[in-house]
């Protein structure tokens, strides 16, 4: 059960952070009404950093396999959530929910990779650091 809670906590923190960023920061960055590519790049960079740092820290505390499993689950949940939820909230257009999902299906693999790849790299580095310091897989 602790594994499920660990994944859900990480997923909730990421989801809340992304939602707050989208609602509060993005509109302020694009006051002209135009698309602001910088806002998206900052969000993508933050996801990469969080995935890497999370994998690194969790591997040092719980071991590489646990960290990788947790962060693969977090990446999958985040990608699926970001694909499934926004079309439900933005029903201003003429497209149906299914059409919106079909248009945005590529976001799933992109967001999954954006979090999962750095998390796996971080977990490997965290495990190596943990072994060299003799602290790999210890519960903190």
Dihedral (Cα; 95, 79, 3, 55), 10-degree rounding: -170
Tell me, what's the pLDDT at 86?
A: 74
Confidence of residue 107 (pLDDT cuts 50, 70, 90): confident
pLDDT in tens, 73-93: 999 999 998 888 876 776 677
Yes or no: say if 57 and 125 are a contact pair by the CB < 8 Å rule.
Answer: no
Tell me, what's the pLDDT at 82?
A: 84
């Amino acid at each position: 059960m602790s594994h499920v809670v660990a994944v859900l906590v990480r997923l909730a923190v990421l989801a809340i952070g992304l939602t707050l960023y989208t609602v509060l920061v993005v509109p302020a960055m694009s006051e002209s009404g135009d698309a602001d590519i910088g806002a998206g790049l900052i969000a993508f960079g933050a996801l990469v950093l969080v995935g890497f740092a999370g994998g690194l820290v969790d591997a040092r505390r719980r071991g590489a396999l646990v960290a990788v499993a947790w962060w693969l689950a977090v990446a999958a949940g985040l990608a699926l959530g970001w694909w499934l939820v926004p079309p439900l909230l933005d029903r201003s257009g003429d497209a149906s929910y299914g059409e919106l999902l079909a248009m945005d299906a590529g976001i799933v693999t992109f967001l999954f990779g954006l979090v999962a790849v750095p998390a796996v790299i971080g977990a490997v580095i965290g495990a190596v650091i943990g072994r060299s310091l003799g602290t790999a897989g210890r519960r903190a």
